[in-house]
């Protein structure tokens, strides 16, 4: 068996092994109606192509730190997801499901840090792949099945989207458009507001001060609509807070978004 990718595993993934016809010839993928691992995940990475749809359901923010990534907030507190119940059932049928979740448990990853080659890998820990009697076969004889080919294509598209997302964030950083975010929500009857921090947002003031040539470049690249999708989505923070309140998942004191 080939060695596992050596880098730290991303959110959702407990393990990551490369798929091979030698080791997984009889493996199948079994689609699950429930996603119990989503019940305590409050933020999911988002690609820029998803902003237009995602901004209807979630606040879109950027993670804190020097290498920010866009995140769809599914809860305001670590361990709280208002869109999935404890068993992993979606609470609603019409919300947008980010590609990051739809890709799971598969992922393209480098097996050798010195090479640019990517291999299709899978997380085998959640009972979605294995030697099952039912489900989609990963191999048809010695060749990848049509299902596996489709999964590979989806993961390749995801990788392209990830690069465009990286380019978008690099543009924001270059022009110093990202600032520390803060949201204060004052529930009726509460002695003090709930203040959420530890994330970044785009500064509208800095956006307005951009030079004309920079704005024209953002328009031509398609990045400017993404900025406004992000800014418009921030109004949903109040909605997420209210959903947590209805579910009885507001902490007893002010807390912060853990991104």
Query: What's the pLDDT tens digit per position in 80-112?
Result: 999 999 999 999 888 899 999 999 999 999 877
Predicted pLDDT of residue 259:
44
| Percentage above 90 pLDDT, the chain | 82
**Has residue 8 been placed in a domain?**
no
What are the residues whose beta carbons fall under 8 Å from the beta carbon of 128, sequence distance 6 or more?
29, 30, 31, 32, 105
pLDDT digits (tens, 9 = 90+) for 107-151: 999 877 777 788 999 999 999 999 999 999 999 998 999 999 999
pTM (global) more than 0.75: yes
Predicted pLDDT of residue 6:
40
Q: How far apart are CA 95 and CA 73, in angstroms?
A: 13
pLDDT digits (tens, 9 = 90+) for 9-31: 899 999 999 999 999 999 999 98
**Has residue 252 been placed in a domain?**
no
Task: Locate 18 and state its tokens.
Answer: 């490369």
> What domain range is 126 assigned to?
17-246
Q: How many domains does the chain have?
A: 1
**Has residue 139 been placed in a domain?**
yes
CB 183 within 8 A of CB 59: no
**Has residue 11 been placed in a domain?**
no
pLDDT band at 252 (very low <50, low <70, confident <90, very high): low
Q: How far apart are CA 210 and CA 110, in angstroms?
A: 38
**Has residue 7 been placed in a domain?**
no
Predicted pLDDT of residue 112:
76
């Amino acid at each position: 068996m080939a060695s596992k990718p050596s880098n730290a595993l991303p959110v959702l993934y407990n393990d990551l092994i490369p798929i091979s016809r030698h080791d997984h010839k009889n493996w199948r993928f079994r689609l699950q109606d429930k996603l119990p691992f989503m019940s305590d995940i409050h933020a999911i990475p988002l690609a820029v192509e998803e902003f237009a749809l995602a901004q209807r359901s979630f606040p879109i923010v950027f993670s804190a730190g020097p290498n920010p990534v866009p995140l769809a907030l599914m809860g305001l507190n670590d361990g709280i997801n208002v869109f999935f119940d404890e068993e992993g059932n979606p609470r609603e049928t019409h919300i947008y499901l980010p590609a990051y979740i739809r890709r799971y448990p598969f992922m393209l990853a480098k097996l050798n840090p010195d090479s640019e080659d990517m291999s299709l890998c899978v997380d085998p820990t959640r009972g979605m792949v294995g030697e099952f009697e039912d489900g989609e076969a990963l191999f048809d004889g010695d060749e990848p099945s049509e299902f596996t080919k489709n999964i590979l294509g989806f993961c390749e598209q995801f990788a392209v989207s990830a690069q465009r997302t990286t380019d978008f964030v690099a543009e924001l950083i270059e022009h110093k458009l990202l600032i520390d975010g803060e949201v204060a929500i004052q529930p009726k009857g509460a002695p003090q507001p709930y203040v959420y921090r530890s994330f970044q947002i785009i500064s509208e003031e800095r956006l307005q001060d951009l030079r004309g040539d920079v704005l024209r470049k953002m328009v031509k690249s398609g990045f400017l609509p993404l900025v406004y999708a992000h800014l418009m989505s921030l109004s949903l923070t109040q909605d997420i807070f209210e959903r947590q309140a209805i579910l009885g998942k507001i902490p007893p004191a002010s807390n912060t978004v853990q991104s």
